[in-house]
Amino acid sequence: MSRTRIKICGITREQDLRAAVDAGADAVGFVFYPKSPRYVAPARLRELASALPPFVSGVGLFVNATLDEVREAVAAGPIALLQFHGDESADACAALAAAVQRPFVRAYRVRPDTTAADLIESESQYRAASAWFSGLLLDTWVDAYGGAGKVFDWSVIPKELAPRVVLSGGLSVQNATGAVAQVRPFAVDISSGVEAGKGIKDARKIAAFVDAVRAADAIT
């Protein structure tokens, strides 16, 4: 039985971080994008850090951030992995990651006309650009950078890529079992689907989401 890794993104409150940890999340995401309703300033990360136990990874999400902004966030608290979710080029991601010595995932926002070949090509481009590249995170293209709760057509994900990708975009308690059973991604990432309101997580939804992912893991 493979165990799909789970990230709960957009943590702004200590109680939400604890709910994610208690439910068994592998990672929690902090959004360092000031236009997001889930934005946390580096100083706030410093406060939240005390609720993050060992072996649960903190992920820093950035949208077109400068090197100074990435440095400030990483210096403020336990950011083990960077998530680039804007228009950063492969070279820009590589340079930012190398400067702060952290691995990164690259968000690929899937459009209706995206093909399997596009995804394979993008992954190899990022892998060639940097040893800090950790994998592609697949989200849905919308007219905003993310956290929109929209699903894309998972059938575009090539079978050979799926075991290395992070699946995101509109995941929810209702669709998680089907998504994981169909795609078999390495990990899933969810934000709005486990919220009571923007930036406010719902502990029951987080627990139910983790259970739904584990239900798919149990199907052999």
Ligand X SMILES: O=C(O)c1ccccc1N[C@@H]1O[C@H](COP(=O)(O)O)[C@@H](O)[C@H]1O
171 sits near ligand X (criterion: CB under 6 A): yes
- 87 or 128, CB closer to ligand X? 87
Which residues are within 8 A (CB) of 139 and not within 5 positions of it... i.e. 6 or more apart? Answer: 85, 107, 108, 109, 110, 146, 152, 168, 169
145 sits near ligand X (criterion: CB under 6 A): yes
Smallest separation (angstroms) from ligand X to the CB of 109 = 9
Q: What is the CA angle 187-49-132, rounded to 5? A: 45
Question: Which position among 134, 191, 210, 216 is part of the footprint of ligand X (CB under 6 A)?
Answer: 191
Smallest separation (angstroms) from ligand X to the CB of 98 = 22
27 sits near ligand X (criterion: CB under 6 A): no
Smallest separation (angstroms) from ligand X to the CB of 220 = 27
- 131 or 144, CB closer to ligand X? 144
Footprint on residues 101-120 left by ligand X (CB under 6 A): none
Residue 110 in contact with residue 169, Cβ under 8 Å?
yes
Q: Which amino acid is at 112?
A: P
State whether the Cα torsion 141-89-6-58 is positive or negative: negative
> Which residues are designated catalytic?
9, 139
